Amino acid sequence: MKNLIIAASCALAFMAGGVQAQDTSIGSSAPRSLRIAFDVPYEPFEYKGENGELTGFEVELADAMCEQMNATCEFVIQAWDGMIPGLLARKFDLIMSSMSITAERAERILFSEPYYNTPGGWFGPESFDTDVTDMSAMKGKTVGVQRGTTMDTFVTEKMSGVVTIKRYTTADDMVLDLEGQRLDVVFVDYPVGEQTVLTKDGFKEVGEAVKLGKGVGVAMRKRDADVAREVNSALRTLKEDGTYDTIMQKYFAYDVKI
């Protein structure tokens, strides 16, 4: 869903790139010090806990990753619009804020290997009993998606002409129309649907979740290829030694590992 603002980010990034200082790169002498940016709140990935401390799936993963890399890390809070510009302007060194890997972003910044991928989920009223993969049964239904998301792309490619697609800017508006029976079903980022649709009475998951896109990666400046190597190897270790699974199970009832 954060895809929506990328273009604005790119425009800003363009300007920020212009004023970027001569890069001196992050010092190669250990221990490395890294600043990692998050956009809060985006539950359950990054948000402020009861005592105001930063927590969430990505925050804990970042902690574990820093430990693995033997780096001292500082967490920075940054609004989504300024993420890529801030990274390029060296306000911080890594972004671990649910940034999906896309070709457009990859032109400006460097992505690590993906570290999670949430599926798109189908949600609808209790009475909805159509198989969402059956195109003839879905004919004439109205499907809601968030504009510009991987879910939008999926539905546009696979189902345009079969169903009526309605595109929304925010998930809230979309859920209102689902409640108001203007939509038969919505196809939305699973954690978002879990928190907006499933918390209401009379709604359920109506189809199997679909994995879309390349997933979410750590974003870095293109010149920091050495950092990327370390990040990738740290993430790989975490995925293999079970640390990743422990953190994941704390926040998700389903698999987001990639």
Partner 1 sequence: MPDFLAAWLDKNDIFTAMTILEYWNGMVTTVQLVFLSLIIGLMFAVPLAILRTVKNPFISGPVWFYTYLFRGTPLLIQLYIIYYGVAQIPGIQETFWWAIFREPFYPALLAFALNTCAYTTEIIRGAIVSTPHGEIEAAKAYGMSWFMRMRRLVLPSAARRAVQAYSNEVIFMLHSSAIASVVTIVDLTGAARNIYSRFYAPFDAFIFVAFCYMALTFTMVFVFRKLENHLLRHQRPVGS
Residues lying near partner 1 in the complex (CB under 8 A): 3-4, 6-8, 10-11, 104, 147-148, 152-153, 166-169, 173, 176-177, 179-182
Q: Give the shortest CB-167-to-partner 1 separation in angstroms.
A: 6
**Smaller CB separation from partner 1, 63 or 179:** 179
**Smaller CB separation from partner 1, 8 or 210:** 8
How far is it, in rounded angstroms, from Cα 143 to Cα 183?
6
Q: Give the shortest CB-174-to-partner 1 separation in angstroms.
A: 9
Q: Give the shortest CB-12-to-partner 1 separation in angstroms.
A: 11
Q: Give the shortest CB-10-to-partner 1 separation in angstroms.
A: 6
How far is it, in rounded angstroms, from Cα 99 to Cα 150?
12
**Smaller CB separation from partner 1, 8 or 162:** 8
Cite the DSSP H helix spans in 83-201: 83-88, 103-106, 135-138, 150-159, 171-179, 190-196
- Residues sharing a CB contact under 8 Å with residue 91, sequence separation 6 or more, in sequence order: 35, 37, 76, 78
**Smaller CB separation from partner 1, 56 or 217:** 217
In a 3-state reduction of DSSP, which class is residue 68? helix
Residue 104 corresponds to which amino acid?
E
**Residue among 116, 74, 129 at smallest CA distance from 235:** 116
